[in-house]
Amino acid sequence: MLNKKALHAYIFGLCAWALAIILSLKFGATTDADIAVIVQLRLPRVLLASAVGIGLSVAGASLQALFSNPLCEPYTLGISSGAALGAVFGASLGFHWIFGGLTGTAFAGALLFTALLFVVAHRPGVTTLSLLLAGVMLGFLGSSLVALWMALSDTNGIQGALLWLLGDLSRARMGGALFTLAAAFALTLALWLRWRELDALLMGEEGALTLGIAVGKVRASLIFTIALLVAICVSASGMIGFIGLVIPHFVRRLVGSLHLQLLPLCAIWGAAALTAADVTARVLARPYDLPVGIVTALVGAPLFLWILFSRREAS
Amino acid sequence: MLSLRTVNKGSTEPRRKPWAPALAALLLLCVAARAGAETAPRRIVTLMPSLGELAADLLQTDLNRIVGISEYTDYPPGLKKAASIGRYDRFNIESVVALKPDLVLASQDGNPKDPVLHLRELGLNVLVVRTETFDEIKESMRLTGTALGFASRGAQMASQFEQGLSRIRDRAAKRTGRPRVLLQIGDEPLVVAGGKSFLNESLTTIGALNVYSDSGTRYPKPSVEDVIQRKPEIILILALGRQSGKSFEAAVRRWKDFQSIPAVRNGKVFVIEADALLRPTLRLLEGLSILEKKVFDAE
């Protein structure tokens, strides 16, 4: 079952993750950090980066299978726009309450959009493509509402919310990080247990039907699980791009498209990548934190191109 | 708005924001936890340039007690030796914690809320002051004075501020007529001082009338059409910080097309350089007299 390639991918992935964690604990805004700084500030951040890295890449891989579309990423379905709307709304009214660095109103917004999407997915006769388009439209709706809200209100508090939405792990607290990590593990496990259905969906809607999969039902429940995972990630860290797109493609390059290996490897490599990106973002512009999304995009875009073209040449 | 204080003399203030009660409860917990352990702080970190200034004024000679400052803290020059914790609006939590401060001074009106709460969650002693109105500025002087162990200096500073204000108010009372002023703080998009900003209070104090005093937001972004309708007699463009002079000249020129505005017709569009106007410390008085001169010398 576990071929040599996959074994190597696990070993290298775990080593990369461990290395990223060590570097993250060692380096930061200050050069001579004592144990208190490491435990109170850097450790929660490492845990949160790992959790969000796991969540985003697993969600990305599952969505790409679900929609048989390699361009899908966690933010394609518009759930993040719901989170953005919630965060901005809450910030301007002054009650985006925070538990351990998590934004409650962002989570509520993401859940609301998840529910809308779920309703759409349950409509009889809805195709995978129209569901995808519905998600994209939900995204547009959310971001235009954010823009409307911004235009109409005092921008003072909102700016912070918007900056955070660009991807920010600096708010990590131990409680919130552990919660996010537990949720990411649990939802990843829930998706992993359905690897057979995800594999079947790779063959497209009709292909899956011929394999005896009740596509409508499976799709709706998978979407709900994935959306919950994305909602948790976004309300913990804003929108960090590229991890959810690039990591699944990278791992597919290593072990192929079957989800039994793909999902756990995505979790490991996603955690490693975001942890490494975060420590880079913290150190590059000391003492300022660069938005981690800049680093993931700067590294992710060339990596994606490399994956794309090396695959072409191989075939 | 937060009315957080870590000193143990709380006074009641009007609640303005819905989340005030929750934060007030948090504050009470903090007060309860810290009451009794009242020793003068030795390691102070200030998260705003204005707070660095305020703390330095209160400490007078003992400036080395300020171990961390925010970027752009340029006054008094003696403070520049302290470590930088980053810009006030995105200060670095780790840098603050690493300095092991026994008092952190933060502002409700400049520092982002969540990182300040984070510092407090990490067990640091954080005093958050508000400086949006003149009363709040006076209160912030008293609170900071008490927190630094110089309660009487703080009170003295507050009354000095009040005296300065009443001198300006006296001069205003002697003048007849209140010129209609548009105070522009941003160009492209046009941003002006609204009724809820402290700049509105500054204009009222010197005896001018803010044409946007009825605006519900602090910094509205009106259309030029709306400005024309409000007929400002003087347009003041606030030159903020380190932008180049040229950009302000361009802002002045942009008004030239609208001759129906009295201020434009009569050549009363000015750039005003008054960083002090944005410092909620005693230096604000200097800023106010600059504003006063610009408005009334032009009359």
pLDDT at site B33: 46
Considering only CB atoms, B94 lies closest to which of A29, A98, A157, namely A29
pLDDT at site A100: 58
Q: How far apart are CA B190 and CA B203, in angstroms?
A: 19
Lowest mean pLDDT among A119-133, A155-169, A235-249, B132-146: A155-169
Global confidence as pTM: 0.81
pLDDT bucket at B207, cuts 50 / 70 / 90? very high
- What is the tally of structural domains in chain A? 1
**By the 8 A CB rule, do A110 and A78 touch?**
no
- Classify strands B234-239 and B269-273 as parallel, antiparallel or unpaired: parallel
Contact across the interface for B84 and A287, Cβ inside 8 Å:
yes
Contact across the interface for B217 and A153, Cβ inside 8 Å:
yes
Domain range for A132 = 4-314
pLDDT bucket at A159, cuts 50 / 70 / 90? low
Tokens 């002051």: give the residue.
B129
pLDDT at site B245: 60
Does any CB of chain B come closer than 8 Å to the CB of residue A30? yes
- Domains parsed from chain B with CATH numbers: 20-162 (3.40.50.1980), 177-297 (3.40.50.1980)
> What is the distance in angstroms between the Cα of A24 and the nearest Cα belonging to chain B?
13
Give me the percent of chain A exceeding a pLDDT of 90.
Answer: 36
Q: Could you report the per-residue pLDDT of B171-184, keeping only the tens digit for each? A: 999 988 899 999 99
The residue of chain B with its CA nearest to that of A100 is B118
pLDDT at site B8: 38
pLDDT at site A156: 59
| Residue A248 bridge partners (DSSP) | none
pLDDT at site A56: 95
Environment class of B257 (CB within 10 Å of its CB; exposed 0-12, middle 13-18, buried 19+): exposed
Does any CB of chain B come closer than 8 Å to the CB of residue A28? yes
Q: Is the confidence at residue A245, as pLDDT, over 80?
A: yes
Q: Is the confidence at residue B26, as pLDDT, over 90?
A: no
| Domain CATH number, residue A254 | 1.10.3470.10
Which of B71, B87, B92, B99 is most worth mutating to test chain A (most A CB atoms within 10 A of its CB)?
A: B92
Considering only CB atoms, A288 lies closest to which of B19, B92, B122, namely B92
Q: Is the confidence at residue A165, as pLDDT, over 60?
A: yes
The residue of chain A with its CA nearest to that of B108 is A157
Q: How far apart are CA B57 and CA B281, in angstroms?
A: 9
pLDDT bucket at B9, cuts 50 / 70 / 90? very low
Q: Which residue has the higher pLDDT, A143 or A313?
A: A143
Q: Is the confidence at residue A1, as pLDDT, over 80?
A: no
Alpha-carbon dihedral B183, B186, B192, B193, rounded to 10 degrees = -70
pLDDT bucket at B20, cuts 50 / 70 / 90? low
Residues 6+ apart with CB under 8 A from A244: A56, A57, A59, A60, A63, A73, A74, A75, A270
Tokens 């044409």: give the residue.
B211
Which of B93, B94, B97, B199 is most worth mutating to test chain A (most A CB atoms within 10 A of its CB)?
A: B94
Lowest mean pLDDT among A2-11, A203-212, B205-214: A203-212
pLDDT bucket at A223, cuts 50 / 70 / 90? confident
Residues of B in contact with A155 (CB under 8 A): 219
pLDDT at site B244: 55
Across the A:B interface, residue pairs with CB atoms under 8 Å apart total 65
Q: Could you report the per-residue pLDDT of A4-53, keeping only the tens digit for each? A: 889 999 999 999 999 999 999 998 777 777 888 888 889 999 999 999 99
Considering only CB atoms, B18 lies closest to which of A42, A94, A171, namely A94
Residues 6+ apart with CB under 8 A from B159: none
Tokens 């929750």: give the residue.
B22
Does any CB of chain B come closer than 8 Å to the CB of residue A287? yes
pLDDT at site A157: 62
Top mean pLDDT of B5-9, B81-85, B231-235 is at B231-235
> What is the distance in angstroms between the Cα of A186 and the nearest Cα belonging to chain B?
27
> What is the distance in angstroms between the Cα of A95 and the nearest Cα belonging to chain B?
6
Average pLDDT over residues B47-57: 93
Contact across the interface for A101 and B122, Cβ inside 8 Å:
no
Does any CB of chain B come closer than 8 Å to the CB of residue A31? no
In the three-class reduction of DSSP (H, G, I as helix; E, B as strand; rest coil), residue A118 is classed as: helix
Does any CB of chain B come closer than 8 Å to the CB of residue A155? yes
pLDDT at site B101: 95
Q: How far apart are CA A207 and CA A188, in angstroms?
A: 25
Which of A25, A26, A30, A163 is most worth mutating to test chain B (most B CB atoms within 10 A of its CB)?
A: A30
Contact across the interface for B92 and A287, Cβ inside 8 Å:
yes
Q: Is the confidence at residue B2, as pLDDT, over 50?
A: no
| Cis upstream peptide for B76 (omega within 30°) | yes
pLDDT at site B22: 56
The residue of chain A with its CA nearest to that of B88 is A288
Residues of B in contact with A90 (CB under 8 A): none
Environment class of B211 (CB within 10 Å of its CB; exposed 0-12, middle 13-18, buried 19+): buried
pLDDT at site B150: 93
pLDDT at site B137: 94
Q: Could you report the per-residue pLDDT of A197-206, keeping only the tens digit for each? A: 999 988 888 8
Residues of B in contact with A173 (CB under 8 A): 118, 121
**By the 8 A CB rule, do A237 and A188 touch?**
no
The residue of chain B with its CA nearest to that of A153 is B217
Q: For residue B197, count other CB atoms closer than 10 A to its CB.
A: 24
Q: Which two tokens stand for residue A42?
A: 């850097």
Q: Report chain B residues touching chain A, CB-CB < 8 A.
A: 17-19, 84-87, 90, 92-95, 97-98, 112-115, 117-118, 121-122, 217-219
pLDDT at site A183: 95
DSSP assignment of A227-254 equals HHHHHHHHHHH----SHHHHHHHHHHHH
Lowest mean pLDDT among A183-197, A240-254, A263-277, B266-280: B266-280
What is the phi-psi region of residue A248: left when phi exceeds 0, alpha when psi lies from -120 to 50, beta otherwise? alpha
Q: Which residue has the higher pLDDT, B67 or B276?
A: B67
Q: Which residue has the higher pLDDT, B255 or B80?
A: B255
> What is the distance in angstroms between the Cα of A136 and the nearest Cα belonging to chain B?
30
pLDDT at site B120: 92
| Residue B65 bridge partners (DSSP) | none
Contact across the interface for B95 and A95, Cβ inside 8 Å:
no
Residues of A in contact with B118 (CB under 8 A): 101, 171, 173
Q: Is the confidence at residue B257, as pLDDT, over 70?
A: yes
Top mean pLDDT of A110-124, A249-263, B228-242 is at A249-263
pLDDT at site B10: 35
Q: Is the confidence at residue B6, as pLDDT, over 80?
A: no
